[in-house]
């Protein structure tokens, strides 16, 4: 049975490359893009999980689904895997740099290997993905680069030092890229989710305003299709939180656990 009955006819089978597609937001965006008729190139470290996802997508009537094992911390591998995806699908229209991890703990208490791994994955891994995509988009003359940041980018929060810093780096990097490609046919979108129910935060003590992953995936893909430049996800209450966080007095910030 084809569950993907609402495929649009006007997207001319666009293709999307997603990192971190084996779980959470990446997985849900893959399902959502497939439903909307896109060709998929999915990557993550766990190939067996991607194989199972490809099977279920194809059984549900998805179009082409290319999968590849990829650790985004290895920049040379990112170039190789992205190149293979371009060949497999003929072209890539959208790249979603989504892979990320969330290590939390106070500075000087969180083991430093986990600090380094957060930066290697969330910053270097994303930059490697963006770099490979941009080299391709500049030759192609067009493309849509999407980076998954976080509302954690808007202020350094106790216990969230390295995660927030990694996402602030993502937001800042993509802002620079957006300015660089302004006026061209290359578009840069930065999406900053609040809490969306995925394994990255399921052990957290508190998850204010958390939304189900199905809704999160739908909202993310809606925003990508609307070709927005920046957005919090969902807009309410996170757009307001994003404005309030930078002006929150340090004494109140320090009370956050
Ligand atoms: N969920 C939220 O509330 C929330 C809020 C703000 C921002 N975000 C961001 O959204 C993105 C996705 O997170 P999620 O919530 O979907 O978490 P998740 O369910 O834990 O998924 C993380 C994904 O990243 C992949 N990944 C981790 N390290 C990787 C590496 N070195 N190389 C390649 N892939 C790697 C994982 O796949 P493998 O383990 O198979 O490699 C997995 O597919 C992250 O960038 C996260 O910071 C999430």
Interval 159-172: pLDDT, tens = 999 999 999 999 99
105 vs 10, residue with greater confidence: 105
Torsion of CA 167, 170, 174, 177, to 10 degrees: 160
Mean pLDDT score, 223-249: 97
- pLDDT at residue 9 greater than cutoff 50: no
Q: Is 163 a catalytic residue?
A: yes
Reported as a single tens digit per residue, the pLDDT across 66-103 is 999 999 999 999 999 999 999 999 999 999 999 999 99
Confidence label for 256 from pLDDT (cuts 50, 70 and 90): confident
Best mutation site among 19, 23, 85 for ligand 1, i.e. most ligand atoms within 8 A of its Cβ?
A: 23
What is d(CA 68, CA 80) in angstroms, rounded to the nearest whole number?
Answer: 10
Q: Is 233:222 a contact under the CB 8 Å cutoff?
A: no
What is the pLDDT at residue 13? 85
Domains and CATH numbers, the chain: 15-254 (3.40.50.720)
What is the pLDDT at residue 6? 53
- Measured in Å, residue 196 CA sits from the centre of ligand 1 at 12
What is the pLDDT at residue 93? 98
- pLDDT at residue 59 greater than cutoff 50: yes
What is the pLDDT at residue 2? 55
The candidate with the shortest Cα–Cα distance to 93, out of 139, 140, 53, is 140
What is d(CA 154, CA 20) in angstroms, rounded to the nearest whole number?
Answer: 23
What is the pLDDT at residue 10? 47
What is d(CA 196, CA 25) in angstroms, rounded to the nearest whole number?
Answer: 8
Confidence label for 203 from pLDDT (cuts 50, 70 and 90): very high
Reported as a single tens digit per residue, the pLDDT across 115-139 is 999 999 999 999 999 999 999 999 9
Mean pLDDT score, 37-60: 98
What is the pLDDT at residue 7? 53
Best mutation site among 200, 220, 233 for ligand 1, i.e. most ligand atoms within 8 A of its Cβ?
A: 200
């Amino acid at each position: 049975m084809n569950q993907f009955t609402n495929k649009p006819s006007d997207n001319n089978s666009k293709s999307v490359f997603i990192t971190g597609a084996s779980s959470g937001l990446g997985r849900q965006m893959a399902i959502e893009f497939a439903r909307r008729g896109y060709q998929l190139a999915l990557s993550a470290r766990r190939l067996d999980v991607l194989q199972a996802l490809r099977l279920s997508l194809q059984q549900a009537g998805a179009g082409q689904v290319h999968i590849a094992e990829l650790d985004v911390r290895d920049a040379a591998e990112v170039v190789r895997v992205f190149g293979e995806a371009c060949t497999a699908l003929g072209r890539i229209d959208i790249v979603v740099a989504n892979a990320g991890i969330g290590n939390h703990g106070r500075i000087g208490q969180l083991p430093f290997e986990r600090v380094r791994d957060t930066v290697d994955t969330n910053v270097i891994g994303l930059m490697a993905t963006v770099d490979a995509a941009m080299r391709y988009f500049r030759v192609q003359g067009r493309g849509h680069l999407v980076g998954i940041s976080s509302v954690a980018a808007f202020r350094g929060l106790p216990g969230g030092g390295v995660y927030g810093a990694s996402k602030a780096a993502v937001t800042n990097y993509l802002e620079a890229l957006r300015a660089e490609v302004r006026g061209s046919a290359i578009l840069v979108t930065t999406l900053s989710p609040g809490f969306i129910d995925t394994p990255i935060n399921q052990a957290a003590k508190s998850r204010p305003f958390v939304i189900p992953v199905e809704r999160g995936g739908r909202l993310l893909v809606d925003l990508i299709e609307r070709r927005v430049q920046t957005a919090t996800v969902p807009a309410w209450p996170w757009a307001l939180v994003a404005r309030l966080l930078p002006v929150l007095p340090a004494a109140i910030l320090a009370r956050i656990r």
